[in-house]
Amino acid sequence: MSAVIISSLLFLSACTVQEVSEFLEVTDDVLTAIEQEQGETDSASEEEPVNGSTNLLKSKGTMEPIPAKLVRPVDGDTAVFAFDADADGKEEEYSARFLLIDTPETRHPQLGKQPLGNEAKERTEELLASGSITLEFDVGQRLDKYDRILVYVYVDGKSVQEILLEEGLARVAYVYPPNTRYLDEFEAKESIAKKKEIGVWAMDGYVTERGFNSN
């Protein structure tokens, strides 16, 4: 750093007063331009939409349920919904993962199609087509590593997650605090299916801590 300062002083000492003045003006202009460019970049970064939204998906905490429309079901615990995320009057599509549950796979690169995977998907599709859909966020993160929104899903005010759990088509899973608002309720519904030994609980050893045993 000192070498740079000395070199600059030597350079300036060899210049006329006018040349020094012009040099300082150019340097000041360059620094100003850099600062302005950096400021515009920072501003753009702050305002860059996340999955199409500038507000809802960046905010945290509780909020009112969001009316949504079903675009297409993916499997028992995943679907694509359309809703107005930033109150601009325009609906956008979002891939959604249902919080706190896991259903058998209908297709998977390693696991393939698992028992009751199609049944879980068909039941979810049936539920989502039966009434008005609302989505609810928890207080923690709102996107998973695949950029899917993490939500509780309701049809006419009834929890889709709780129905799937009570009918034995899902297990309680992916419990990551603080997104655990309805964990107790979900575990209670799961215990009903366990006691009845229905759905995924009808097959010995099918449900594991890591998912479902396809072997």
pLDDT band at 44 (very low <50, low <70, confident <90, very high): very low
Q: Are both 38 and 122 inside the same structural domain?
A: no
pLDDT, mean of residues 119-143: 96
Tally of domains in the chain: 2
Query: Does residue 52 lie in a domain region?
Result: no
Q: How many CB atoms lie within 10 A of CB 203?
A: 13
Query: Does residue 96 lie in a domain region?
Result: yes
Which residue range forms the structural domain that includes residue 127?
Answer: 66-212
Lowest mean pLDDT among 12-21, 59-68, 133-142, 200-209: 12-21
Query: Does residue 86 lie in a domain region?
Result: yes
Query: Does residue 126 lie in a domain region?
Result: yes
Query: Does residue 57 lie in a domain region?
Result: no
* Three-class secondary structure of residue 176 per DSSP: coil
Helix intervals (H) in the chain:
2-13, 17-47, 117-128, 160-166, 183-196
pLDDT band at 109 (very low <50, low <70, confident <90, very high): low
pLDDT at residue 53, rounded to an integer:
39
Query: Does residue 103 lie in a domain region?
Result: yes
Query: Backbone dihedral region of 89: left (phi > 0), alpha (psi from -120 to 50 degrees) or beta?
Result: left
Query: Does residue 148 lie in a domain region?
Result: yes
pLDDT at residue 120, rounded to an integer:
97
Q: Are both 88 and 190 inside the same structural domain?
A: yes
pLDDT band at 21 (very low <50, low <70, confident <90, very high): very low
- Asked whether the predicted pLDDT for residue 60 surpasses 60, the reply is yes
pLDDT at residue 214, rounded to an integer:
72
Q: Are both 20 and 101 inside the same structural domain?
A: no
pLDDT, mean of residues 154-181: 97
Q: Are both 167 and 102 inside the same structural domain?
A: yes
Q: Are both 97 and 196 inside the same structural domain?
A: yes
Q: Any idea which residues carry the catalytic annotation?
A: 97, 105, 148
Spatial distance between the Cα atoms of 141 and 85, rounded to a whole number of angstroms? 16
pLDDT at residue 59, rounded to an integer:
72
Query: Does residue 163 lie in a domain region?
Result: yes
Q: What CATH number does residue 154 fall under?
A: 2.40.50.90
